[in-house]
């Protein structure tokens, strides 16, 4: 099958000649046959050779209602007939206005202002800068609040600010000399965070965390009550709480936002990935009225938030996001998700019992299957992904943790098949290399 951009062979040649892929060792990439995705249908992806795969990781954790959803397609097309892009700097547009209203109505209470950008990294970068500037503008004493507490193993994006609050050594340690200094708390250990607050009285601007589950760390699930305890600690010490819901937002944990599980309302909330249903790049950082008001002043006071990306609040992306929220209502996505989450939990039980599997961690649909101690150079997680691919499912590991994050719209039948394929892939990949059980 040929793509309208050329034959499969031509595309492979030019990919190898010109493309540098993210988070990819290009030497290994060039030795493998690339899968070139030609189109999506529901929760399937189809490649240029006509092979069909279940999109087992929601095209990097962002697809929600499936690909080529008629409702979202039509909304993007309708916007395309009007304008593809204008700017939010000095102008505004209907889709961004409507979407801001919808997000404010949906979000945990108190989040009343929506600041757009275009990726999860920018959403967290913006939250950090807002928190920092907010305290700087509050007067001499409050201006001492310049430090951030982040969690060990955290992931908040790849820009320098978001990497500064990151805690995954493999991704982040290289850049240490470029990063600002942050305090790192042990995830799930509220006493540890309490000590950091006690050691730095009046210095903490904000705590930033992924609520309930740290995704890129390998789906690390926090003990129940931890998020709420962090909220209480922030209140006690007068610090802001930033919740990074880039991965957890829009239904991934079973509720619209993970914060809802513990009735927590953060001061700043970051969203991106699922916001447009996985269609187009868009992010939103939501803030409380109190933070917003901290930026009000006369022009010449320069309390302005001097930040804004060129494609901030792009109209096509906002139209996709509005349609995505409509589909949540029309298809009762969250209601219909609950039994699928139960099914997933059942399906994973026998996998957790396998000798090759150290642990299965899950929060809602977000699933990490950690394999037992294989040497790094075996790339066991990657091997499992290749075996799964040859059986008709796209999964992407984080090291030796096999991640499953199906679109919320996946059918029960495909969910069963996805877990079956994953189990088989683990069997086949590990059979060749016995674990070096430590």
Binding residues (CB under 6 A) for ligand PLP: these are 119-121, 124, 155-157, 210, 215-216, 244, 246-247, 272-273
Structure tokens at 339: 């039994």
- Shortest approach of ligand PLP to residue 312 CB, angstroms? 14
246, 250, 256, 261: CA torsion to nearest 10: -40
- Shortest approach of ligand PLP to residue 407 CB, angstroms? 16
Task: Identify which of residues 276 and 430 has a Cβ nearer to ligand PLP in the complex.
Answer: 276
Task: Identify which of residues 59 and 121 has a Cβ nearer to ligand PLP in the complex.
Answer: 121
Task: Identify which of residues 230 and 357 has a Cβ nearer to ligand PLP in the complex.
Answer: 230
- Shortest approach of ligand PLP to residue 97 CB, angstroms? 23
CA distance linking residue 438 with residue 435, whole number of Å: 9
- Shortest approach of ligand PLP to residue 192 CB, angstroms? 21
CA distance linking residue 42 with residue 140, whole number of Å: 55
Task: Identify which of residues 398 and 429 has a Cβ nearer to ligand PLP in the complex.
Answer: 398
CA distance linking residue 21 with residue 216, whole number of Å: 18
Task: Identify which of residues 56 and 294 has a Cβ nearer to ligand PLP in the complex.
Answer: 56
Residue nearest to ligand PLP (CB): 120
- Shortest approach of ligand PLP to residue 202 CB, angstroms? 28
- Shortest approach of ligand PLP to residue 118 CB, angstroms? 8
Task: Identify which of residues 108 and 392 has a Cβ nearer to ligand PLP in the complex.
Answer: 108
Contacts of 86 (CB under 8 A, 6+ apart): 93, 315
- Shortest approach of ligand PLP to residue 55 CB, angstroms? 16
Contacts of 408 (CB under 8 A, 6+ apart): 64, 65, 251, 252, 333, 334, 337, 340, 365
- Shortest approach of ligand PLP to residue 400 CB, angstroms? 19
Task: Identify which of residues 281 and 294 has a Cβ nearer to ligand PLP in the complex.
Answer: 281
Task: Identify which of residues 156 and 362 has a Cβ nearer to ligand PLP in the complex.
Answer: 156
């Amino acid at each position: 099958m040929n793509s309208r951009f050329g034959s499969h062979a031509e595309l492979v040649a030019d990919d190898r000649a010109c493309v540098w892929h993210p988070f990819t060792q290009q030497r290994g990439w060039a030795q493998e046959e690339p899968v070139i995705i030609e189109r999506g249908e529901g929760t399937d992806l189809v490649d240029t050779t006509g092979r069909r795969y279940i999109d087992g990781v929601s095209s990097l954790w962002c697809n929600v209602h499936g690909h080529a959803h008629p409702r979202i397609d039509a909304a993007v097309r309708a916007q395309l007939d009007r304008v593809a892009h204008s700017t939010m700097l000095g102008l505004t547009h209907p889709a961004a206005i409507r979407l801001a209203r919808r997000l404010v109505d949906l979000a945990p209470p108190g989040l009343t202002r929506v600041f757009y950008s275009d990726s999860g990294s920018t959403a967290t970068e913006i939250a950090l800068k807002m928190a920092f500037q907010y305290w700087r503008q509050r007067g001499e004493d409050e201006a001492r609040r310049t430090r951030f507490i982040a969690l060990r193993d955290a992931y908040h994006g790849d820009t320098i600010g978001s990497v500064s609050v990151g805690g995954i050594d493999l991704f982040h340690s290289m850049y240490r000399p470029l990063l600002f200094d942050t305090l790192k708390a042990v995830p799930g250990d509220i006493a540890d965070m309490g000590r950091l607050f006690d050691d730095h009285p009046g210095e903490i601007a904000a705590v930033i965390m992924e609520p309930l589950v740290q995704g890129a760390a390998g789906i690390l699930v926090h003990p129940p009550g931890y998020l709420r305890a962090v909220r209480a600690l922030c209140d006690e010490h007068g610090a802001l709480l930033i919740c990074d819901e880039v991965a957890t937002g829009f239904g991934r944990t079973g509720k619209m936002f993970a914060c809802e599980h513990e009735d927590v309302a953060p001061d700043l909330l970051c969203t991106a990935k699922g916001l447009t249903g996985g269609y187009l790049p868009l992010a939103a950082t939501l803030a409380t009225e109190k933070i917003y008001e901290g930026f009000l002043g006369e022009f010449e006071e320069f309390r302005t938030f001097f930040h804004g990306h060129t494609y901030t609040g792009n109209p096509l992306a906002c139209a996709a996001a509005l349609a995505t929220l409509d589909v949540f209502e029309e298809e009762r996505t969250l209601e219909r998700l609950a039994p699928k989450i139960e099914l997933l939990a059942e399906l994973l039980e026998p996998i957790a019992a396998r000798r090759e599997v150290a642990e299965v961690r899950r929060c809602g649909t977000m699933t990490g299957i950690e394999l037992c101690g294989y040497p790094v150079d075996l790339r066991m997680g990657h091997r499992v992904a290749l075996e799964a691919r040859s059986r008709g499912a796209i999964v992407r590991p984080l090291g030796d943790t096999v991640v499953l994050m199906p679109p919320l719209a996946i059918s029960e039948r495909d969910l069963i098949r996805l877990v079956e394929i994953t189990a088989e892939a683990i069997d086949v990949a590990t059979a060749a290399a016995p674990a070096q059980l430590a």
